[in-house]
Chain A
């Protein structure tokens, strides 16, 4: 299965959530690889704590170079052995592989051409031979990265592969409108995808939304609010629900909701059990949200056509 993570705007916490989902999924026993297609800002190495590829790999064998045809094979890092987070992790018993394919240090966005699509499909196909889950983190918005994967997944050679999309957005009016536009709007994912040969309904069936940095009105974090604030918040939340429904990203299409967690606002990182139970810098709810999202990626009942 190939999962694409995208968002209309930057700052949604898309990358950090994707990394955490990949980590959780590997912990659950799947072999997972994470592809950094955030070409303008390849920083997933830093989130995973893989210092050799913190801001992309300096060896000239990252995804930018691979897609441009400059190297035959994109460099892979085994996160379990290469990460320095928490003093380095050994691969936990029962966990699957967790492999990072970083971009190139200093790499930028680039226009898409035919050969690049071919390389991209080759990459997806060969990773799918060995990984149960290929998670591709795309640049925000209507990017070359999105164009590239839409064109690649339209190639019949990938027809047998399940592809799914996660669209990340924050729980604000602007983000809801923008996320809807990215999917349904002019030159959005559906319209562009159809141009490249996707069947619109199939593509749409594979898209779900993830809300990030969410403050649930009943959250203990809001216990100190004045009553007026509470009332306003509740009613505004209902407005947003309504808006989301109208913009076609209502709760039936929402597959995850990640609570606001201070630690992620300050430092983009993998949240491990230690951060929750030992040092207690992270909230248990955050961990649970990642865990649930990781499981829901392959829960067929949540991905049936609506």
Chain B
């Protein structure tokens, strides 16, 4: 089954009624045809960590400890196996995310953070290809990514969802089933609905119900503070090369000159390329090495990813290009994620 079969097809050749079979006109208007650009793809995107401001207050020792523990898992040979390309040369890029979003004032400037990170990683044989700032998952300088992904959400419908009601978007929450209390208004003297438990859709007998907060309201121009889970979902989609804005790519890594780092994070690129010959930032699959504290966040990420409507052309292109390399890539974005959760 081809997903794109149902896509619109405007700008057809004109009059079908009176045209003689011999005279076939070809007519096309470029504005009438959609297009989706392809992005460069590595085979695997390895996330070496997700760093909060406090991670830089504990000194270089804490960072070193983190990289020391994940180094064995980030070796080329074991990574090859993850993409099904064992024994063959693999295109792997590494990246990490610095949180300049939740508490921007407490994060030391790039001139402090970057050399520290690179040194700590290098001490354990790890090369960091890309460094991204978390605020770029909200807005990358050109595209409001978080809003874009939120708009692409197609909430998992509990049974009885027949299209008659708009999906509950306003609340800023997304769950994987049906909530325990219906929020529908009850008229005066109307019957009350009895309590029922929440339920996970497509549960295997018992539910693991999860309700993830996407954002909270906040004064300011954006009006919202996006949740860590939601931004982490945007981050995964960026790494998977599945996001497009009006068909164009939203991933544009900018080479970073370590000798000339900006004073503030706002002037740091959305995604900075730290090594000149790095494999592409986006990849067929992602691998993330994280502390176990991220486990609930990543559960939410998977719930969110399972409800994002991806540009079918972007989705199909990753599958096709992987196949051309003799690799298989699962159809569903959430199935392309691998994790290593590290205990404390």
* Residues of A near any B CB (own CB < 8 A): 39-40, 64, 68-72, 106-111, 113, 115-116
A70 and B187 form a contact (CB under 8 A): no
Q: A147 to chain B: closest CB distance in Å?
A: 14
For the complex formed, measure the closest distance between the CB of A62 and the CB atoms of chain B, giving whole angstroms.
11
The verdict on B161 contacting chain A, using a C-beta distance below 8 Å, is no
> Besides A64-B187, A69-B185, A72-B164, 5 other CB < 8 A contacts?
A69-B184, A72-B163, A108-B187, A108-B189, A113-B185
Q: Which of B163, B170, B185, B189 has a CB less than 8 Å from the CB of A68?
A: B185
Most buried by A among B163, B164, B184, B190: B190
Distance in angstroms from A67 CB to nearest chain B CB is 8
Query: In the complex, what residues of B have CB within 8 A of residue A107's CB?
Result: 187, 190
Q: Is B206's CB within 8 Å of the partner chain A?
A: no
Residues of chain A with a CB closer than 8 A to B190's CB: 106-108, 110
Q: Is the CB of A109 within 8 A of B185?
A: no
- Give Cα distance in the complex from A113 to B184, angstroms: 11
Residues on the B chain within 8 Å of A109, using CB: 187-188
Contacts of B1 in A (CB 8 A): none
> In the bound complex, do residue A69 and residue B165 qualify as a contact, i.e. CB atoms below 8 Å apart?
yes
Inter-chain contact A110/B184, CB cutoff 8 Å: no
Chain B residues lying within 8 Å of A115, measured Cβ to Cβ, are: 170
Residue among A40, A107, A115 with the highest chain B CB neighbour number at 10 A? A115
Nearest first, the 3 closest Cβ-Cβ pairs linking A and B are A108-B188, A72-B164, A110-B187
Q: Report how far A106 CA is from B170 CA in the complex, Å.
A: 30
B186 within 8 A of partner (CB): yes
Contacts A69-B165, A71-B164, A72-B164; is A111 near B189 (CB within 8 Å)?
no
A116 to B186, CA, bound (A): 12
Q: Among the listed B163, B170, B188, which residue makes an inter-chain contact with A110, where contact means beta carbons less than 8 Å apart? A: B188
Chain B residues near A (Cβ < 8 Å):
163-165, 170, 184-190
Does A68 lie within 8 Å of B164, measured CB to CB? no
Contacts of A116 in B (CB 8 A): 185
What is the predominant secondary structure among interface residues of chain A facing chain B?
loop
Q: Kindly list chain A residues whose C-beta atoms are within 8 Å of the C-beta of B188.
A: 40, 108-110
Contact of B185 among A40, A71, A111 (CB under 8 A): A111
Chain B residues within an 8 Å CB radius of A69: 165, 184-185
Q: Which residues of A contact B170 (CB under 8 A)?
A: 115
Q: A70 touching B184 by the CB < 8 A rule?
A: yes
Name 9 A/B residue pairs within 8 A (Cβ), A-sorted.
Answer: A68-B185, A68-B187, A107-B190, A108-B187, A108-B188, A108-B190, A109-B188, A110-B186, A111-B185
Assembly CA distance A248 to B190 (angstroms): 39
A68 touches B165 (CB 8 A): no
Closest chain A residue to B188 by CB distance?
Answer: A108
Shortest beta-carbon distance from B274 to chain A in Å: 47
**B residues in contact with A72, CB < 8 Å:** 163-165
Interface centre among B187, B189, B190 (most CB of A within 10 A): B187
Within the complex, what minimum Cβ distance (angstroms) separates B183 from chain A? 9
Chain A residues with CB under 8 Å of B164's CB are 71-72
Give the CA-CA distance A71 to B189 in the complex, in Å: 20
**Bound CA span A116–B185, Å:** 10
Chain A residues contacting B163 (CB-CB under 8 Å) are: 72
Give A77 to B189 CA distance when docked, in angstroms.
Answer: 26
Distance between A189 CB and nearest chain B CB, rounded to angstroms: 22
Instruction: Report the Cα distance A71→B166, complex, angstroms.
Output: 11
Report A-chain residues with C-beta under 8 Å of the C-beta of B184: 68-70
Q: Which residues of A contact B186 (CB under 8 A)?
A: 110
Bound state CA distance, A60 and B8, in angstroms? Answer: 36
Whose C-beta in chain A lies nearest to the C-beta of B189?
A108
Q: Which residue of B lies closest to A111 (CB)?
A: B185
What is the CB-to-nearest-CB distance from A179 to chain B, in angstroms, rounded to a whole number?
25
Q: How far is the CB of A87 from chain B (nearest CB, A)?
A: 35
A206–B10 alpha-carbon span in the complex (Å): 46
A110 near B185 (CB under 8 angstroms)?
yes
- Complex CA gap A71/B162 in Å reads 11
Cα–Cα distance between A71 and B185 once the two chains are bound (Å): 13
CB distance from B162 to the nearest CB of A (A): 9
Query: In the complex, what distance in Å separates the CA atom of A68 from the CA atom of B189?
Result: 14
**Taking the nearest CB of chain B, how far is it from the CB of A164, in angstroms?**
28
Name the residue of chain A whose CB is nearest to the CB of B191: A106
Question: Which residues of chain B come closer than 8 Å to A71, judged between CB atoms?
Answer: 164
CA distance A115 to B170 in the complex (A): 10
CA–CA, A51 to B185, complex, Å?
Answer: 28
In Å, the complex CA distance between A70 and B184 comes to: 8
In the assembly, what is the distance between CA of A19 and CA of B189, in Å?
27
Interface centre among B170, B185, B188 (most CB of A within 10 A): B185
A171 to B190 CA separation, bound complex (whole angstroms): 36
In the assembled complex, the Cα of A71 lies from the Cα of B165 at a distance in Å of: 7
Q: Could you tell me the distance in whole angstroms from the C-beta of B187 to the nearest C-beta in chain A?
A: 4
